[in-house]
């Protein structure tokens, strides 16, 4: 019976993490909705903004690279990118290294919106995650 207690503690810790994630995701969605985004939209913009800092300004990643960073399925990410492209926030193009690949890049409008909502997203993360061992 003693083995059950540590195991149960792990299960409870896991459930606490899931609950914190769900609450934080809801808060992010609520805060970002005022800017026409959901949390997943912002994550894609944020990943592309980070790419800009890394690759010298082009702000582009292959769809597969984005998928690995934002934890969405390939099909869900494709739909999200199509919606962001329709809104003028990103643009898609052929990958010069592999013509089968598609690269996604921020547009000036996407960079501007990312800069506008970055403090909103960071404030929500700070508020929700402070005191939970993750900041």
- In the DSSP assignment, the letter for residue 65 is H
Q: Could you tell me which residue, 6 or 107, shows the higher pLDDT?
A: 107
> Among residues 40, 39, 76, 81, which one has the least CA distance to residue 60?
81
Distance of CA 76 to the CA centre of its chain: 13
pLDDT digits (tens, 9 = 90+) for 5-57: 889 999 999 999 999 999 999 999 999 999 999 999 999 999 999 876 555 55
Angle between helices 108-129 and 4-33 (to 10 degrees): 140
Reply yes or no on whether the pLDDT at 116 is more than 80: yes
Q: Where residue 117 falls among pLDDT bands split at 50, 70, 90?
A: very high
Helices (H) and strands (E) in the chain, counts: 5, 3
**With contact defined as beta carbons under 8 Å apart, do 109 and 89 qualify?**
yes
Q: Give residue 135's pLDDT band: very low, low, confident or very high (50, 70, 90).
A: very low
Q: State both tokens at 119.
A: 């403090």
The pTM assigned to this predicted structure is 0.83
pLDDT in tens, 65-104: 899 899 898 899 999 999 999 999 999 988 776 667 788 9
Sheet holding 98-106, edge to edge: 60-62, 98-106, 90-95
The whole-angstrom separation of Cα 83 and Cα 67 is 16
Asked if 123 contacts 105 with a C-beta cutoff of 8 angstroms, the reply is no
| Closest residue by Cα to residue 90 from 117, 60, 67, 65 | 60
Domains and CATH numbers, the chain: 4-129 (1.10.10.10)
């Amino acid at each position: 019976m003693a083995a059950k207690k540590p195991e149960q503690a792990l299960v409870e810790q896991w459930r606490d993490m899931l609950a914190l994630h769900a609450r934080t995701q809801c808060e992010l969605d609520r805060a970002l909705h005022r800017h026409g985004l959901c949390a997943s939209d912002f994550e894609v913009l944020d990943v592309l903004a980070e790419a800009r800092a890394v690759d010298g300004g082009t702000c582009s990643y292959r769809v597969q690279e984005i998928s690995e960073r934002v934890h969405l399925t390939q099909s869900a990410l494709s739909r999200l990118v199509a919606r962001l492209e329709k809104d003028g926030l990103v643009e898609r193009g052929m990958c010069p290294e592999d013509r089968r690949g598609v690269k996604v890049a921020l547009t000036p409008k996407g960079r501007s919106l990312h800069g506008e909502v970055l403090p909103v997203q960071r404030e929500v993360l700070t508020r929700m995650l402070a005191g939970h061992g993750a900041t």
